[in-house]
């Protein structure tokens, strides 16, 4: 039986999603917990691998199990075996053609910034901090040139293993409420560090260091070395993954926003 699951985690204490020898990863913890409930070894496939320090409120995985369990048993049993910085939110049985990565039609990220003079204490490692005032409207305007299908080489990490740098962004917005700023990006898929590199560029524009038109020049230049500083990982959240309606998953609608 194939099962899909929604997961949230605080990425602070992990060396990213992907299983690695000798370090703590989200994948390893999830697989160990699911294996206890399934009573056999379980391997999970994820919608998108997150880097060290990056969080998720809407990660999706799938796995195959030889044993039948109720949705309630999967959620409660797995969570009882997980550390407190990971939680399974829901599980659903799905058809055998479901694939957490390849069946996804849209992924959503939110980048959260605390924009005030004093560094955060409560939100330490849960949001990025910028002490210099940011002009959010300029950031929003600058981001609109990224909409549509483009070669995003200028926002791609040097070690990115994706075969193509082309992606399609369907929504990108920057907004503010009090001291909080967030940047939402929805796309068919993302390159490594793509959102963090976009946000780093937008923050430079928001600080007045670059003109609004700089974002278009960076995009067209396709040169990562000209794209500015990569924003830190602690502000980034995988906020949702959308799938075709036929799978009837809780995440089949556009991701719920938070913050």
Active site residues per annotation = 51
DSSP designation for 150: E
CB 87 within 8 A of CB 104: no
**Strands 180-187, 106-115: parallel, antiparallel or unpaired by DSSP?**
antiparallel
250, exposed or middle or buried, with CB in 10 Å at 0-12, 13-18, 19+? Answer: middle
Residues 6+ apart with CB under 8 A from 225: none
In sequence order, what E strands does the chain have? Answer: 2-9, 45-46, 55-64, 86-94, 106-115, 128-130, 148-151, 166-177, 180-187, 236-242
Backbone angles phi, psi at 58, to 5 degrees: -145, 35
CA distance 236 to 254: 18
CA distance 72 to 75: 5
CA of residue 48 relative to chain centroid, distance: 7
DSSP designation for 80: H
CA distance 228 to 198: 9
Partners of 169 in beta bridges: 148, 187
């Amino acid at each position: 039986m194939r099962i899909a699951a929604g997961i949230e985690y605080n990425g602070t204490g992990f060396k990213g999603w992907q299983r690695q020898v000798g370090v703590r990863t989200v994948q390893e913890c999830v697989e160990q917990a699911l294996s206890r409930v399934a009573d056999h070894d379980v391997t999970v496939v994820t919608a998108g691998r997150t880097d060290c320090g990056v969080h998720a409120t809407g990660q999706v995985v799938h796995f195959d199990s030889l044993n039948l369990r109720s949705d309630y048993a999967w959620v409660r049993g797995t969570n009882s075996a997980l550390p407190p910085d990971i939680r399974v939110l829901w599980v659903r049985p799905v058809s055998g053609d479901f694939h957490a990565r390849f069946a996804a039609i849209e992924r959503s990220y939110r980048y959260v910034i605390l924009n005030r003079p004093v560094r955060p204490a409560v939100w330490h490692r849960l949001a990025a901090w910028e002490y210099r005032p940011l002009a959010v409207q300029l950031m929003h305007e600058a981001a609109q040139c990224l909409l549509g299908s483009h070669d995003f080489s200028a926002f791609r990490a040097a070690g990115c293993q994706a075969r193509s740098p082309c992606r399609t962004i369907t929504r990108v917005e920057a907004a503010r409420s009090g001291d909080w700023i967030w940047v939402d990006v929805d796309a068919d898929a993302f390159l490594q560090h793509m959102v963090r590199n976009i946000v780093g560029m937008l923050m430079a524009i928001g600080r007045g260091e670059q003109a609004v038109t700089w974002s278009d020049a960076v995009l067209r230049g396709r040169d990562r070395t000209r794209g500015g500083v990569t924003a830190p990982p602690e502000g980034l959240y995988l906020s949702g993954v959308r799938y075709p309606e036929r799978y009837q998953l809780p995440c089949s609608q556009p991701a719920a926003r938070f913050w």
